[in-house]
C-alpha cells in the first residue's frame, strides 16, 4: 500500500504527441510503478511454481555454475565484508596483448583515432571495423549473421589455419559466445516425439552446456565415453556402440565432437578424426565439431553441416564473441538459420569487433608485431609450463591420477574417494565428488568443479581445475590440494 500511496500523487500523463520526451517518460514510468501495486498473494497461491513451470527447464543441470560456485561467491562476499582486500579466487588475470584493448577502445570512442598515443596498426584495424558497422558505430545493430567484413576476416583466418583450404564468409555466422551457436544449431536440428525424438551424441565427460541444451530442447542425450586410460581418446567403436543402443529409443541425428576436449583437454589424432567423419557419413549424422579450445589465440570450430566457435583467450570471453562455420547446409536450412538468428536481432557488436581482432593478429612489419609475439610466446610458454607442473604434481599424490594436459586451460584429474567419504556424501544427499569439492572449498578456499557436472564413468570421480593462475600461485594451490587430499584420505580411511 505504501507503493500505491507513493505513486498516486503523480497525474496521468497526456496522450498527445507533445508528450514526447519528459512527460512521455514519466507517464510510462508511472504506469510501470503502478504495476507494482498489487494485492498480496500468499506464497502457497503463487502462479508459477516448480510444478507448473517448464519441465524441460527444470530438468536442466549446469554444474559449472552450480552450488560450488555459488558457495564460493558467498565466501568471497563474506571476506569482502570482513576486510577490504580481494580474495584470490579462481579466474585470474592475464597480460593479454595490448593491441586488443587498444583497438576496442578506438572502436568504442572513435575520437581517439586522432590521438598520437595509439599505434597505426591498431587504428587501421579500428577504422576497418567501424567502416563496416552501421552508423560507423559499435552501438548500432548489425546484420543478424554478423558484420560482413568481420565474417570475411574469420573466413580468411580459417583458410590460413587450414593451410589454404578456403572457407566461405557466407558460411560464417557470428554469435553471442560459443554457447549461443551451439544452442542455435541444436534448436534447428531437434524434432520428433516418442521413439523418433532426436538423439544427440555427446562425449562423456562433456562441457555441460550440451546436456543443458539437450534437456531444454527435450531431445535425447546419447552418451559416448572417452577412454581415460588412453588419454581421453575417442574410439569409433564406442561411437558405434552408443549409436546402436540409442536406436532402440530415439533417432540419433547429431554427433558432437569436442576437440580439444572440454573439460578433458585432449587433442584427437588425425586418424581418429577421419574415422569419426566416415562414421558420421555412414550413420547420416549431422556432425557438430566444437573447437572452442582449438587455439588459445581465439577459438574456432566448424560444422560438417557445421559449427565453429569463439575466443577463450583469457580476458576476451566477457565480450561474448563467437562464430560458427556451417558447411554443406541445405540452402533452405540456411534461410531458417538466418531467420532464427534474426529473432535476437544481432550478436553484441563489441563482441564481433573483439572476434575480428582475435582472428587478425599483428603480422611481421606491423608496429605491434614484436610486442604481440613476445606476449604470445610468454603466455603459451607459461601455459605449457603450468600444464606440466600440474600433471606432475597431481601424479605424485596417492589417489590422484592426471592425464597429460594438451589443449585446455584445465586439469581434470581422477580422484579416489574412499567408501566412508561416499557414505558421508550420501548422508548429505550429495554426489561424492560434490562433497569432496565442497570440503576442498571450505577448507582451502579453492574452487573446483566436481566431475559429476561433466559426466564420468560410474564409480569414478574427478574435478576440473583451471591452470590460469600465475605459476607461483598455482604451485601454492596445487600444494594445498595435495595436503587436503591426503588429509581427506586419512579422515575417511
Site for a copy of itself in 13-72 (CB under 8 A): 13, 15-22, 24-25, 27-39, 41, 43, 46-50, 52-55, 57-58, 60, 62, 64-66
- Candidate segments 9-17, 362-370, 416-424, 427-435, binder of a copy of itself by CB under 8 A: 9-17
Give the nearest distance from C-beta 417 to a copy of itself in angstroms. Answer: 26
- Candidate segments 3-11, 363-371, 455-463, 485-493, binder of a copy of itself by CB under 8 A: 3-11
From candidates 113, 195, 201, 388, binder to a copy of itself by CB under 8 A: 388
Q: Which is nearer to a copy of itself, 363 or 380 (CB)?
A: 380
- Check if the beta carbon of residue 175 is closer than 8 Å to that of residue 209: no
- Note whether 419 binds a copy of itself by CB under 8 A: no
- Note whether 268 binds a copy of itself by CB under 8 A: yes
Residues 430-469 contacting a copy of itself, CB under 8 A? none
**Buried b or exposed e, range 315-343, using 16+ CB within 10 angstroms:** ebbebbbbbbbbbebeeeeeeebeeebee
Q: Which is nearer to a copy of itself, 421 or 455 (CB)?
A: 455
- Note whether 363 binds a copy of itself by CB under 8 A: no
- Note whether 119 binds a copy of itself by CB under 8 A: no
Q: Which is nearer to a copy of itself, 320 or 462 (CB)?
A: 320
Give the nearest distance from C-beta 418 to a copy of itself in angstroms. Answer: 29
Residues 228-247 contacting a copy of itself, CB under 8 A? 231
Give the nearest distance from C-beta 44 to a copy of itself in angstroms. Answer: 10
Whole-number Cα distances in Å, 240 to 135, 222, 256, 277: 52, 11, 14, 13
- Note whether 175 binds a copy of itself by CB under 8 A: no
Whole-number Cα distances in Å, 63 to 165, 209, 444: 38, 9, 20
Q: Which is nearer to a copy of itself, 402 or 422 (CB)?
A: 402
From candidates 127, 240, 404, 480, binder to a copy of itself by CB under 8 A: 404
Q: Which is nearer to a copy of itself, 189 or 204 (CB)?
A: 189
Q: Which is nearer to a copy of itself, 78 or 139 (CB)?
A: 139
* 400 CB neighbour count, 10 Å cutoff: 21
Which positions ≥6 away from 269 have C-beta within 8 Å? 233
For the record, the C-alpha cell of 193 comes out as 516425439
- Candidate segments 181-189, 435-443, 447-455, 471-479, binder of a copy of itself by CB under 8 A: 181-189
- Note whether 319 binds a copy of itself by CB under 8 A: yes
Give the nearest distance from C-beta 442 to a copy of itself in angstroms. Answer: 20
Give the nearest distance from C-beta 419 to a copy of itself in angstroms. Answer: 31
Q: Which is nearer to a copy of itself, 105 or 486 (CB)?
A: 105
- Note whether 412 binds a copy of itself by CB under 8 A: no
Residues 142-161 contacting a copy of itself, CB under 8 A? 142-144, 161
Q: Which is nearer to a copy of itself, 184 or 456 (CB)?
A: 184
- Binding flags for a copy of itself, 333-352, as an x/- string (CB under 8 A): x--x--xx-xxxxxxxxxx-
Residues 285-304 contacting a copy of itself, CB under 8 A? 285-287, 289, 291, 293-297, 300-302, 304
- Note whether 318 binds a copy of itself by CB under 8 A: yes
From candidates 327, 416, 418, 444, binder to a copy of itself by CB under 8 A: 327
Q: Which is nearer to a copy of itself, 216 or 366 (CB)?
A: 216
Q: Considering CB under 8 A, how many residues would be counted as binding a copy of itself?
A: 167
Integer Rg of the chain from CA: 25
Q: Which is nearer to a copy of itself, 348 or 418 (CB)?
A: 348
Q: Three-state secondary structure along the chain?
A: CHHHHHHHCCCCCCCCHHHCCHHHHHHHHHHHHHHCCCCCCCHHHCCCCCCCCCHHHHHCCCHHHCHHHHHHHHHHHHHHHHCCCCCCCCCCCCCCCCHHHHHHHHHHCHHHHHCCCCCHHHHHHHHHHHHHCHHHCCCCCCCCCCCHHHHHHHHHHHHHHCCCCCCCHHHEEEEEHHHHHHHHHHHHHCCCCHHHCEEEEEEECCCCHHHHHHHHCCCEEEEEECEHHHCCECCHHHHHHHHHHHCCCCEEEEEEEECCCCCCCCCCCHHHHHHHHHHHHHHCCEEEEECCCCCCCCCCCEEECECCCCCCCCCCHHHCEEEEECCCCCHHHHHHHHHHHHHCCCCCHHHHHHHHHHHCCCCCCCCCHHHHHHHHHHHHHHHHHHHHHHHHHHHHCCCEECCCCCCCCEECCEECCCHHHHHHHHHCCCCHHHHHHHHHHHHHCCCCEEHHHCCCCCCCEEEEEECCCCHHHHHHHHHHHHHHHHHHHHHCC
From candidates 281, 363, 374, 483, binder to a copy of itself by CB under 8 A: 281
Give the nearest distance from C-beta 95 to a copy of itself in angstroms. Answer: 11
- Note whether 91 binds a copy of itself by CB under 8 A: yes
From candidates 82, 84, 85, 284, binder to a copy of itself by CB under 8 A: 284
Whole-number Cα distances in Å, 222 to 214, 265, 476: 10, 21, 39
Amino acid at each position: 500500500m505504501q507503493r500505491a500511496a507513493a505513486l498516486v500523487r503523480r497525474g496521468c500523463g497526456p496522450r498527445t504527441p507533445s508528450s514526447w520526451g519528459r512527460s512521455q517518460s514519466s507517464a510510462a514510468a508511472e504506469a510501470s510503478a503502478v504495476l507494482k501495486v498489487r494485492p498480496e498473494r500468499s506464497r502457497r497461491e503463487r502462479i508459477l511454481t516448480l510444478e507448473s513451470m517448464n519441465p524441460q527447464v527444470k530438468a536442466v543441470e549446469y554444474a559449472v555454475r552450480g552450488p560450488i560456485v555459488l558457495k564460493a561467491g558467498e565466501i568471497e562476499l563474506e571476506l569482502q565484508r570482513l576486510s577490504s582486500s580481494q580474495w584470490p579466487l579462481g579466474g585470474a588475470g592475464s597480460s593479454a596483448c595490448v593491441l586488443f584493448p587498444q583497438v576496442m577502445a578506438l572502436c568504442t570512442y572513435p575520437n581517439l583515432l586522432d590521438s598520437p598515443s595509439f599505434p597505426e596498426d591498431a587504428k587501421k584495424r579500428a577504422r576497418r571495423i567501424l567502416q563496416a558497422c552501421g552508423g560507423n558505430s559499435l552501438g548500432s545493430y548489425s546484420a543478424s549473421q554478423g558484420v560482413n567484413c568481420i565474417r570475411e576476416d574469420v573466413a580468411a583466418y580459417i583458410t590460413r589455419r587450414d593451410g589454404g583450404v578456403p572457407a566461405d564468409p557466407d558460411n560464417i555466422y557470428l554469435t553471442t559466445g560459443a554457447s549461443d551457436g551451439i544452442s542455435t544449431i541444436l534448436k534447428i536440428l531437434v524434432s520428433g516425439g516418442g521413439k523418433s525424438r532426436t538423439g544427440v551424441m555427446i562425449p562423456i565427460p562433456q562441457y555441460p552446456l550440451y546436456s543443458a541444451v539437450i534437456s531444454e530442447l527435450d531431445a535425447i542425450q546419447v552418451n559416448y565415453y572417452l577412454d581415460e586410460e588412453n588419454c581421453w581418446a575417442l574410439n569409433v567403436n564406442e561411437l558405434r556402440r552408443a549409436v546402436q543402443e540409442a536406436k532402440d529409443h530415439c533417432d540419433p541425428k547429431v554427433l558432437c565432437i569436442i576437440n580439444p576436449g572440454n573439460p578433458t583437454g585432449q587433442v584427437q589424432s588425425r586418424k581418429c578424426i577421419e574415422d569419426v567423419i566416415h562414421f558420421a557419413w555412414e550413420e547420416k549424422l549431422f556432425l557438430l565439431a566444437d573447437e572452442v579450445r582449438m587455439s588459445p589465440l581465439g577459438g574456432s570450430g566448424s560444422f560438417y553441416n557445421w559449427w565453429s566457435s569463439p575466443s577463450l583467450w583469457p580476458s576476451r570471453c566477457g565480450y561474448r564473441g563467437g562464430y560458427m562455420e556451417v558447411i554443406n547446409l541445405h540452402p533452405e536450412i540456411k534461410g531458417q538459420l538466418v531467420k532464427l538468428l534474426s529473432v535476437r536481432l544481432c550478436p553484441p557488436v563489441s563482441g564481433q569487433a573483439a572476434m575480428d581482432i582475435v582472428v587478425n593478429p599483428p603480422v611481421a612489419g606491423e608496429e605491434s608485431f614484436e610486442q604481440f609475439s613476445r606476449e604470445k610466446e610468454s603466455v603459451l610458454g607459461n601455459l605449457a609450463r603450468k600444464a606440466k607442473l600440474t600433471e606432475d604434481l597431481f601424479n605424485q599424490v596417492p589417489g590422484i591420477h592426471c592425464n597429460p594436459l594438451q589443449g585446455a586451460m584445465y586439469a581434470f584429474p581422477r580422484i579416489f574417494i574412499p567408501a566412508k567419504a561416499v557414505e558421508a556424501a550420501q548422508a548429505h544427499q550429495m554426489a561424492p565428488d560434490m562433497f569432496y569439492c565442497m570440503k576442498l572449498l571450505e577448507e582451502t578456499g579453492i574452487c573446483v568443479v566436481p566431475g559429476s557436472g561433466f559426466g564420468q564413468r560410474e564409480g569414478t570421480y574427478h574435478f576440473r581445475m583451471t591452470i590460469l593462475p600465475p605459476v607461483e600461485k598455482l604451485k601454492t594451490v596445487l600444494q594445498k590440494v595435495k595436503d587436503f587430499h591426503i588429509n581427506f584420505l586419512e579422515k575417511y580411511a
